[in-house]
Structure 1
Amino acid sequence: MSAYEELETGRETDYTVPALQRGLSILQMFNARQRTLGTSDIAERLGVSVSAIYRIVHTLSEMGYLRKLAKNTYELGPQVVSDGFSYLASRDIVDLALPHLNALRDRTSLSCHLTIREQTDSLYLYRAFAAQRLSVNIPIGTRIPCHCTAMGRILLSGLTAEELDVLYQHVRLDDYPPPAPKTLPELQQLVDGDRERGWVLHRSDYSTAIAAGVRNHLGEIVAAINLSGPDAVMDSPESQARYLAALLQTAERISAELGR
């Protein structure tokens, strides 16, 4: 019998998943006033035994949605914030950056892009495309390994040396063509220089890109922007200095709107 026929005869199938329903109900129990809960409290609110929720709580903890504080006591884990707000935060950055990047594109006649970091990838969220021949045009949604691009390296410069080491400890770097670094020590050395300089210039495939970081109210790098165009346009030191000044000014303006 089809779903339509079931509805017509008043016999709807129950497609709910009890374990999933309980897991989401557990997460919803936490709020500003109720920051911690014990397993007995959770079980009592759900009207079940502690043993009935043990595997659900364990799974939520393993996935980072709950954090164990003490024996049988939990609080919300970092994954709740990451999943709940990363998309919204990225949209906020796009909305704030869009007019600034469009103005930078119009001022320089070069393409501009906005990215955020997702693990070891640079995710492209916005592009202000320059309508000229040989313009660099990377589609929104593109993912490129961070260590291969100017914006990716800027995003990595927001990490500490320890965080960078943990992020790349199981990642192979020798499968990418030059000028990408081939080893973790080489990447660390590059990122150290990028962090000190505050911007990155990168050449590849007859094009040049200059990237800078966008910072939040805590001064943390949360996104990167760039100016990119053909080598013929960006090759001279005078041109690079002019474009870099415009890029840094734009990065400061976007950061200011984020509360920097």
Structure 2
Amino acid sequence: MSRGPGSKIDESDKTSTDSDRQFVTALARGLEILQCFDAEERMLGTTEIAQKTGLAQPTVWRLCYTLQKTGFLSPVPGKDKLQLGTAAIALGAAALAGQDALEVVRPMLQAIADRYQVAVALGRREGDSIVYLLRCQGNSPLLMNLRVGSRIPLFHSAIGWAYLANCRPEECEQLLADAAASGKLTDEAELKTMKQALARYPARGFVYHERPKYQINTVAAGIKLPDGERFVVSCGGPTSLLPTPLMFEEVGPLLSQLTRELQPVLLLGKDL
């Protein structure tokens, strides 16, 4: 599997990284620790970090100490936990400063969110997750508390399925095979539903994902740029606001049209 930005170094990567003399493993492990923090988990202890990364506790202690000394992590006052430090925040701010195109995209997403009183998000893949770059919400108290920076599982969500649907067939098969081998995709019923959604994507222009247990329906579509980079957009909310017929007849096609409108905006935004 090709390693996307922000992905964890696992056993399947060891052969390539061990033979790559330019690859600095210690640096990669430090970055992996920083990527454990997100909008939902802003404070973590070293034991939690070790569990998330699979690194040995002494290694985590040394790396966290170094990250604290360089300002990328800082202790949480009164708690035995760490949080992102000023250096990490400054780096994130510098990255966002180059994302002017997102401000052009925002009102386009917000218009759909307001129209249906649901949530619309734009994301990009990092490892086995889709990370929200933008999230717009309509006036509904029933929506999940997700935000920019939230990580959505690649293999268990509409927005993740949309990403897979926009991969080359051989790339998609490799991602699915790696996920199955690592235990991230073991539910045969879910796998069958996902493959059906991927197969129907070319004709529909979107994937549909329903979660009856939570009464939530979602559609999502992908945006491919000429350099191979891919973005994904999703629209989801309570089934009371987004019943299945509405998703297929109106919201899905609307989202597919939105991706066609966003493609040139995001392409030009790479040069802003």
* TM-score when normalising by structure 1: 0.56
CA distance in 1, matches of 2:162, 2:139: 26
Q: Separation in 1 of the partners of 2:98 and 2:130?
A: 13
Is the 8 Å Cα contact of residues 154 and 195 (structure 1) preserved in structure 2? no
How far off its partner does 1:152 sit? 0.6
Q: Which residue of 2 aligns with 1:149?
A: 157
Residue 22 of structure 2, aligned match among 44, 49, 60: 60
Larger radius of gyration: 1
Distance 2:253 2:227 in 1: 20
Aligned: 1:180 with 2:190 = yes
1:171 aligns with 2:179: yes
| Shift, 1:93, TM fit | 5.3
Using the TM superposition, give the Cα deviation of residue 150 of structure 1 relative to its aligned residue in structure 2, in angstroms.
0.8
Q: Which has the higher contact order (CA 8 A, sep 6+)?
A: 2
Match for residue 232 of structure 1?
A: 240
Instruction: Determine if contact 1:156/1:164 at 8 Å carries over to the other structure.
Output: yes
How far apart in 2 are the matches of 1:194 and 1:244?
A: 11
Question: 1:144-174, CA deviations, whole angstroms, 9 ceiling, x for partnerless residues?
Answer: 2212111111111121121123334332356
Q: Give unmatched runs, 5+ long, in structure 1.
A: 1-56, 64-86
Cα gap change, 1:156 to 1:231, in 2 (>3 Å): same
Asked whether the 8 Å contact 2:101–2:265 carries over to 1, the reply is no
* 1:182-214 deviations in Å (ceiling 9; x for gaps): 7xxx75554233344320111112111111122
Distance 1:130 1:252 in 2: 22
In 2: Cα distance, 1:92 partner to 1:133 partner: 29
Structure 1 residue 259: Cα displacement: 4.5
CA distance, structure 2, for counterparts of residue 59 and residue 88 of structure 1: 31
Identity level (%) = 23
Name the SS for the 1:59 alignment partner: coil
What's 1:162 paired with?
A: 170
Aligned-pair Cα RMSD in Å: 3.3
Map 1:123-142 to 2 at 5 A.
Answer: 123-142=131-150
How far apart are residue 92 of structure 1 and its match?
5.2
Gaps of 5+ in 2: 1-18, 26-94
2:69 equivalent to 1:107: no
The alignment of Structure 1 onto Structure 2 pairs a total of residues equal to 177
TM-score under structure 2 length normalisation: 0.54
Residue aligning to 1:98: 106
Correspondence list, 1:4-43, <5 A: none
